[in-house]
A = this chain, B = another copy of it.
């Protein structure tokens, strides 16, 4: 995703207005690596700008996505995650707490794939799922406490 300053120019250049709400969200998303949900961003945004609406958060986020500045990610935890990292990358999600992290995969060009005949492929995404360090140690703690 471009920087807030660059986005400001891009928006104006496209006849879109640069509102305080948008600027706030530009800032909250820039460099954000946690893959937040709309609700999570709404909570952060509300802290800095009481009164901002969840509707506007969704609006701005989907606008940025359709401009190619954000990626919408579905890791199967219910709500869509928003990602300012537009590199070619994949994800890993903790099935316990829902944490999402970036995963870079090399060598996927050498995979032997069977079943794509007839399809004109646009993209391939790999989703890893498992338990993050925090949740793994929590489990250990509870086990110790019990036994």
Contacts and interface: CB of A to CB of B under 8 A. Distances in A.
A17 interface: no
Interface in A58-77: 74, 76
Task: Tell me what chain A mostly uses at the interface: helix, strand, loop, or mixed.
Answer: strand
Copies of this protein chain in the complex? 2
| Chain A contact patch, size range | 35 or more
Contacts of A136: 120
A105 interface: yes
Given A124-B128, A127-B124, A119 B107 contact: no
A114 B115 CA distance: 27
Interface string A122-143: 1111111111110010000000
